[in-house]
Amino acid sequence: MNSDEIRISFGIGIIFALRILGMAIILPVISIYGIHLRDANNFLIGLTVGIYGLTQAILQIPFGIASDRFGRKPLIILGLLIFFIGSMIAALTDSIYGIILGRALQGSGAISSVMMALLTDCISEKNRTKSMAFIGISIGIAFFISIILGPVITNYFGFHSIFLIIALCSIFGIIIVLTLIPNRRNVRSFYPSSYSYKEDISNKEIPLQIFTLNLSILFLHCILSSNFLLLPTMMINLGIQSSFQWMIYFIVIIIAFILWTPLILFYEKRYSSRIIMLVCIFLLSIAESMFLYVSLYIGWFFIGLQLFFLSFIVMESFIPSLLSKYSSLGIHTGRNMGIYSTSQFIGSALGGILGGWLMELRGNFHSILLMNILICLIWLGIISLNKTSKI
């Protein structure tokens, strides 16, 4: 990679990381502190978690289309400004409805597709995989830092301080865009003149694999969002106060990262990607089942938490790499990545909204956990029965 490509990859990676920080940092604290806001109930807490993903999913494609016409850089700045406004609204309100409005606006700055398009514009094809790897690492690190930072910041500075910090991050993101990111507009199409859509789908196995991966990321993020509606409160019920919960997340995440690399290397050498998926989904179902019975044995909670984070880390890194591999066999790489991002955000929205609704309806964790177990069983069935696919 030349110096310009390194600079652009670094800038896009930092912006992605800041966005993920803004999305995930409230997950470990919203169910504990949000319930004390004016007018709050369990359903509205779930809606607060899910509304970000919902507006992201709705506006990804419109932002991408607008960036084709007006340029990538102006749309990224616009998205970050909308994110800033939403963060400030959430920081200055004492009502759950204000938090929901702020989160909806945060998600409305849907610039993920625009940044991926910019990366495609600016990074040569031979270096695109390296750039994607750096961005993926940035996103992963930002997500797990946010899970640890959320409880720490809330404990020392208060719940609303989280949104002020997110707002500052968006300003920092705008500075990154202005200093490191070039503008691109009227980018020519890279479709060959002889291109035929029928040729792109002639290998019927590729669309099936891509569909399975998009469904997998939707299920994974649905389980992630719904789990964080119950994990913080579950820890309090086990005697782990909110001020110490970051230590639990830190230990579990470090162990998961230590186990992640040898597991990936072991399975890539000896088993197909389909086996990796099946094993991880099975471990997720075991984790959700253990959460059901923590009242019988406290150790099951920690084992389940470890299995959950390990499975999530493996699949969160594994699914995008598989999608990139299969997408590169056809022309519609950008379209496929856009659908993938939309599926991810729909999953986050469904997990938060359905989880909150079930909590309000049933008044306990069991309904959410049973929902997640059912998702895992359906997910296992889809991949198990799809024997013609190499997924």
Q: Give CA–CA dist 197/200, Å, rounded.
A: 5
Report the range out of 20-29, 34-43, 198-207 with the highest average pLDDT.
Answer: 34-43
pLDDT in tens, 226-236: 999 999 989 99
Parse the chain into domains and list their residue ranges: 1-183, 205-385
Q: What is the pLDDT of residue 202?
A: 44
pLDDT in tens, 313-357: 888 877 776 776 665 544 455 566 667 888 888 999 999 999 999
Q: What is the pLDDT of residue 199?
A: 43
- What is the CATH architecture assignment of 205-385? Up-down Bundle (1.20)
Averaged pLDDT, 241-265? 84
* Full DSSP string of 277-343: HHHHHHHHHHHHHHHHTTTT-THHHHHHHHHHHHHHHHHHHHHHHHHHHHHTTSS-HHHHHHHHHHH
Closest by CA position to 335, among listed 210, 235, 194, 176: 210
Q: Assign residue 315 a region: left if phi > 0, alpha if psi is -120 to 50, beta otherwise?
A: alpha
Comparing 201 with 141, the larger pLDDT belongs to 141
Flag the least confident range among 13-17, 45-49, 282-286: 13-17
Domains 1-183 and 205-385 share a fold: yes
Q: What is the pLDDT of residue 88?
A: 95
CATH fold label, 1-183: Growth Hormone; Chain: A; (1.20.1250)
Comparing 328 with 57, the larger pLDDT belongs to 57
Comparing 70 with 206, the larger pLDDT belongs to 70
Q: What SS3 state is found at 38?
A: strand
Q: What is the pLDDT of residue 222?
A: 95
pLDDT in tens, 138-153: 877 888 889 899 999 9
Q: Give CA–CA dist 61/264, Å, rounded.
A: 33
Closest by CA position to 33, among listed 176, 132, 151: 151
Q: Are 181 and 10 in contact (CB under 8 A)?
A: no
Q: How crowded is residue 299: how many other Cβ atoms within 10 Å of its Cβ?
A: 10
Averaged pLDDT, 46-70? 87
Comparing 334 with 95, the larger pLDDT belongs to 95
Segments in the chain forming alpha helices (H)? 3-24, 30-33, 42-70, 72-92, 96-108, 112-122, 125-157, 161-180, 197-200, 205-227, 231-237, 245-270, 273-292, 299-327, 333-362, 366-385
Q: What is the pLDDT of residue 208?
A: 74
Q: What is the pLDDT of residue 183?
A: 63
Backbone angles phi and psi of 16, in degrees to 5: -60, -45
Comparing 304 with 267, the larger pLDDT belongs to 304
Whole-model pTM: value is 0.83
The structure tokens listed for 377 are: 């069983």
Instruction: Assign 175 a pLDDT band (cuts: 50, 70, 90).
Output: very high
Q: What is the pLDDT of residue 328?
A: 52
Q: Are 384 and 203 in contact (CB under 8 A)?
A: no
The structure tokens listed for 338 are: 């856009």
Q: Which DSSP state fits 36? A: G
Q: What is the pLDDT of residue 218?
A: 94
